[in-house]
Structure 1
């Protein structure tokens, strides 16, 4: 396959997948990267390419995935109007979170800017995170919308964050800047805007050799997040009347 790959097409691409040695770099540039069905489909198509190449290699190789947004936004979350019109949307979105959470190779989110609500969920589902130090916030603002969280979404945050950080994020809607996010272990590193991607690549290269464990890497994730995966698998339509 020839890289970069524009998805879904060169004429109208929402994401672009690059390959640099053992790294796959997934650039999201669909306006402010709000999630809707077409955007989720484009992300899944890119993930398919990475997985198929990884699994079809003759020998196990160093492999990792880095995702990054555009301009000052990583992702501003769900397109709520679209979500309300498409009864299958939330199941598609939860399935994407599950896929990222248990992806078979190491994953790093390069947070070039704001990651709000569903965008933060996408970031926290990665194995590692690097955040821009000079601008941008991480926030779950459902308490201010107001809107409930699906059990699977809450489960990811509960699994990844300390209890007091979880409380402040969910019940206060606190906006974490880079310094706070690092102190609270929400992100692994922070870097200047011009160095966010390079720092994320370096972190990805550090852990890319773990992909050589083959199916074991995913099996370890599946076991690590057993309870989260179970909640992410609950069909959303069963929950909607109660939320």
Structure 2
């Protein structure tokens, strides 16, 4: 394993920072409430490129990726004004990011340090595993409360990752889940009572445990995920019009 120096993206105004400890890469979002824009998603893409190159260059060893935020938010979702005013933002940036995470070649763990709302919730759900604070933060889809549709690709991802009755309440009620309820409803895999540092520590321990699965030969881990989430990835690749006119039928999996 080569020495890795922390790197931030974009270089002129960092929004994300990538570090490494042993087999675990840590991608930290540190842009206030971590809303997604072309710039922030582009920064995440650059960080993911670094991780994938390291995985290939080192011969597909034990490796995993943890993502986290800072302070009150893991991610507050999309910057809606930016998303609506930027042509193909959803297809070329946000949905593409979700697809990439769903099929990432190594295990991914979301260390949910605070709120994960709307697009931030789906970002967390695109990971293989999730660890959340038990005493601070909610995870939810609140689109129903501000009158926005949920794109087919995001709907497909949530439906695949959640139990049917949980998905119903998430989508139709905008129900907020604290850590305890999120664990009870299998939205997250573990909860931690304590600081965001303790959440990150637990997520890192989980990442170390599962990192061995990346060392499976010919990137079997990625191929298995591609089969698991093939229909989701197909929906994520579909064009999306916020009016719903071009999306056709809703995702049915």
What's 1:8 paired with?
10
Q: How does 1:73-92 map to 2 (within 5 A)?
A: 73-91=73-91, 92=93
Partner residue of 2:229?
225
For residue 168 of structure 1, what is the aligned residue in structure 2?
Answer: 169
Q: Does 1:199 align with 2:202?
A: yes
Q: Give 1 or 2: higher helix fraction.
A: 1
Aligned to 1:68: 68
Change (3 A) 1:2 1:202: closer
Partner residue, 2:240: 236
- Of 210-219 and 199-208, more deviation after overlay is shown by 210-219
- Superposition deviation, residue 3 in structure 1: 1.5
What SS is found at the alignment partner of 2:238? coil
Indicate the residue corresponding to 2:155 in structure 1.
154
CA distance in 2, matches of 1:205, 1:143: 37
TM-score (norm. length: structure 1): 0.96
Which residues of structure 1 form unaligned runs of 5+?
Answer: none
* 1:183-218 Cα distance to aligned partner (Å, 9 max, x none): 001000011224100000000001000000141111
Q: What is the aligned residue count?
A: 241
CA shift at 1:56, angstroms?
1.4
Unpaired runs of 5+ residues, structure 2, are 248-253
* 3-state DSSP of counterpart to 1:30: coil
Counterpart CA distance in 2 for 1:237 and 1:167 is 23
Change (3 A) 1:20 1:2: closer
Aligned structure 1 segments of 4 or more residues deviating by more than 6 angstroms: none
Tell me the distance in 2 between the aligned counterparts of 1:168 and 1:109.
22
Change beyond 3 A, Cα 1:38–1:129 = same
TM-score when normalising by structure 2: 0.92
